[in-house]
Amino acid sequence: MSDTRRLHVLRAIVEDYVHTREPVGSKALVERHHLEVSPATIRNDMAHLEEEGLIMAPHTSAGRIPTDQGYRLFVDRITEVRPLSKAERKAMDALVEAADDYESMLEQTVRLLAMLTNQVAVIQHPQQSTAKIRHVDVVQMSPHKALTIVILSSGRVEQRMVTLSDDIDEDSLHRIGQRLSEQLYHRSASATPLPLDELIGSVEPALQPPMAVIANAVEAILEAGRVDRIIMAGTANLAKSGGDLGPAIGPILEALEEQVVLLRLLHEMQQDQRGLSVAIGRETSHDSLAETSVVAAEYVTTGPGGEGAKLGVVGPTRMDYGSTMSAVRAMARYLSRILSEG
């Protein structure tokens, strides 16, 4: 059997099964893909593919469907990831215009990715391990309340409201913010605890009580940023795939809700030369995700060598890998460029 034809047959089976959800027979392959050989020859090819564990017959059907191993070979042979369409690029441009800040940028990115792929889209918040403190500001909200703002080199802006025991004027709060900025500038956001005694002692005695409260708020902001978390959109798309997933859909939704399993998987997935990570079926190494595939790519927030995290999609193994890989990689590159420029 020709290896080239075998790969053509496998690719045709994957593509047909993805679009029809029906097991694929030899006659349909010949008619749809113009393979220029007889159905008997294709049946022989399919028998070899089945022996190699690349396709299988569900129940007593005469047709065949891809196995996880078959999907893996198919995905590995996708050498060119198509560019996005003009409409998809326009949607990304609209995304940038609509986003007010870093958080809304991530939220709108994941919603757009879910829409483009018809899958569950996820985006990992970058850890602050490589981010540096760029600026600290303190804004008076009332005589006893102040907003503590921390700006990081990654572009993230975090804030926390604090309550002060004594009245304090706006100028005093500005001096506290200025002193914190001077003392903490370019300090790693993951370097906690902060030198609180040193920070408190850096201001005059009258400002030491509010400095203690505000410095503790800065430390709490940085500690919260060290916790991994995921923003998710499109879980309804998974429910629409219920026919593929059957009773597995419940455990999948639970795993997505808990996030721990998915976070671990995203950390472990390694990018290939195409800039993509793809885990298929059992490759996810977790029983609850055994009926799914995860396609992911890394985005960075501060240019080459900067802080990075992953975005991607989760869907049934019967997904349109070509289009999904295209959308995921394009979104990652687009987001990296926008965040780095910002």
pLDDT tens, residue by residue, 81-94: 777 778 877 877 77
Percent of the chain residues past pLDDT 90, beyond the cut: 43
Are the C-beta atoms of residues 125 and 230 closer than 8 Å to each other?
A: yes
Mean pLDDT within 135-164: 90
Q: Is the pLDDT of residue 179 over 90?
A: yes
| Cα–Cα dist 233/109, whole Å | 9
63-83 pLDDT per residue, tens: 899 999 999 999 998 877 777
Are the C-beta atoms of residues 269 and 260 closer than 8 Å to each other?
A: no
Dihedral in degrees, nearest 10, Cα atoms 49, 55, 57, 58: 180
214-245 pLDDT per residue, tens: 999 999 888 876 656 789 999 888 877 656 67
C-alpha triplet 236, 239, 240: angle, nearest 5°: 95
pLDDT range class, residue 307, cuts 50, 70, 90? low
Torsions phi, psi for 170 (to 5 deg) = -65, -35
Q: Of 240, 331, 238, 330, give the one whose Cα is nearest residue 293.
A: 238
Q: Which pLDDT does position 342 carry in this prediction? A: 55
Are the C-beta atoms of residues 199 and 211 closer than 8 Å to each other?
A: yes
For the stretch 1-9, contacts whose Cβ atoms lie closer than 8 Å and that sit 24 or more positions apart, written own/partner, are: 1/44, 1/45, 1/48, 5/35, 5/37, 5/45, 6/45, 6/48, 6/49, 7/73, 7/77, 8/33, 8/35, 9/35, 9/42, 9/45, 9/46, 9/49
Q: Which pLDDT does position 228 carry in this prediction? A: 67
Mean pLDDT within 42-49: 91
Token representation of residue 238: 């998974």
Amino acid at 310: K
Pairing of strands 292-300, 65-66: unpaired
Q: Which domains are present in the chain?
A: 3-76 (1.10.10.10), 86-126+228-341 (3.30.450.40), 133-225 (3.30.390.60)
Query: Residue 157's beta-bridge partner residues?
Result: 151
Amino acid at 16: D
Cis peptide before 193 (omega within 30 of 0): yes
148 secondary structure, DSSP code = E
What are the DSSP E strand ranges found in 39-183? 55-56, 65-66, 120-124, 133-142, 145-152, 157-163
Q: Is the pLDDT of residue 35 over 90?
A: no
Total H helices, total E strands in the chain: 14, 10
| Cα–Cα dist 139/161, whole Å | 9
Q: Is the pLDDT of residue 96 over 50?
A: yes
